[in-house]
Chains A and B, each alone.
Chain A
């Protein structure tokens, strides 16, 4: 028998609707076209991916040319992660053959909203081949018993 706090069906539906709303906001944000770099912040936005499994959420972030000891993963609010890392060297637009923009970049920065409830304090991560892999165990606040 579960000793965890039981919630009413209305709580569960409310949370479900809330998560749908968050996902809709996230999709809307993704639809707005914006560059993958921020000139003012001297930062590139990395490629990233989220996989939700029954036990955990796995976030991966592609961080080429990154110094491993500069990677920072910070929980922001209850369901958002902020990821930043410093690159081994400065990259300029000229390095890509681009001359109509000016600027140099030495960091990666992004925020990611996690679509389900997770235990941020039990987060662990590893960095291999330039890929940051963050594991977030899912929160189980209630159970529904089968009669």
Chain B
């Protein structure tokens, strides 16, 4: 009798599983030729019904990646419609309950794109699907989101602000506040002593703080590992080459060797982000000036944008490192 009941239960369970698998939408990805990302085939997925993406990735290194999507409101892949996540070395499953992390998961989803922020040759997308959420996928998604790169990896803005790790799109601090509040109410109800409840609540909040602090220590350990691999045991010149980018550093060394010894004024034209930051300090005592206003004696050209070259009309060649990296000097 018991065996019969068990068999029926097992049958119902398998049936439910197969029904839920029928809802799964398998997403084939392909590597885009000459581009460092992977894009899915065209899709037509109702984002309200199917809100969880599950990826199985094989990677030969640790790193970060972005998952973009396009929908019928906005068919472009762009940052507002993206999630940032860690990729671990080896084969792993990644769960994203997308609307809990990004409100732009709306309308009909038309395509997905995965952009690894490391050498894409080492990444393989073994399997991808979009499914309705379940308790287990929600838990996995929240857990991976909490340990994700947001607030844990050093980026340009880290010097000004450190975002909190999130769970379901909400900063972890909010959960800490709620937990402390609920704890206080529970203790107050149980002990009916305001001061005793207050004392225990402070203990509790300090405990939560220590846990958050340990999470921060964990981040510091990650940063230490990165910096150790990147810089430890190297000369200051190699460290600068790593920090500035090898090509740009080589160019700055070339410029330093070619410019006159006495201080001269210079400007730099480049498509790089803020190229003057490194050139100004590296080329001291030479003086960085505005190319449009101050008529510098030398123009440094490094991978310029075509429009920037309009400023070079009054200049002639001075020294050349390569086709995209050279120095011009002012003609009289």
Are A and B subunits of one complex?
no
Q: Which B residues have a C-beta under 8 Å from some C-beta of A?
A: none
List chain A positions with a Cβ less than 8 A from chain B: none
